[in-house]
A = this chain, B = another copy of it.
Amino acid sequence: MKEKDIFIRFLSDRGLRMTNQRGLILDAFLGTERHVSPEELYGLVRRKDGTIGQATVYRTLKLLTEAGLAREVDFGDGVLRYEHSYGHEHHDHMICERCHRHIEVVDERIEELQERLAKKYGFVLTGHRMYLYGICSECRRRKA
């Protein structure tokens, strides 16, 4: 598995070790395509190893983020979520305010305009967060 190798490499580069727990957490993380909260992931990992501590889940998610395997997603609801980063290009999110369904979107023209906007104000961009909130077609149909 490519990701595990990357993680091991990342760890050893910083004098850290691959452990059983970290392996389980990585596997659980890779095993879901959801935007998963530490708490949710803790629930998943627990099924494989009931003795794992939730602090370890928090800690490992931070490490995965630094290793470039995970990415933090903040929908603004008070919980931090994580999504796959390796092999998953940057994208933004569109969220339905009624059913909380969300889809991943990218618009290259927007990305380009963001760069230009930054340049206009003398900024060099390091990243951005864009969340589009609305009502999905499902929910609009249901209401009608």
Q: Which residues of B contact A135 (CB under 8 A)?
A: 123-124, 126
For this chain, the copies found in one complex come to 2
- Asked if A107 contacts B117 (CB within 8 A), the reply is yes
Query: Considering the chains assembled together, what is the distance between the CA atoms of A118 and B132 in angstroms?
Result: 8
Range class of the A interface residue count:
20 to 34
A52 contacts chain B at the CB level, 8 A cutoff? no
Query: Considering the chains assembled together, what is the distance between the CA atoms of A131 and B123 in angstroms?
Result: 13
Q: With A107-B117, A117-B94 as given contacts, are A128 and B133 in contact (CB-CB < 8 Å)?
A: yes
* CB proximity of A63 to chain B, nearest CB, Å: 20
Q: Please name the 4 residue pairs, one residue from A and one from B, whose CB atoms are nearest each other, closest first.
A: A122-B137, A123-B134, A125-B134, A130-B130
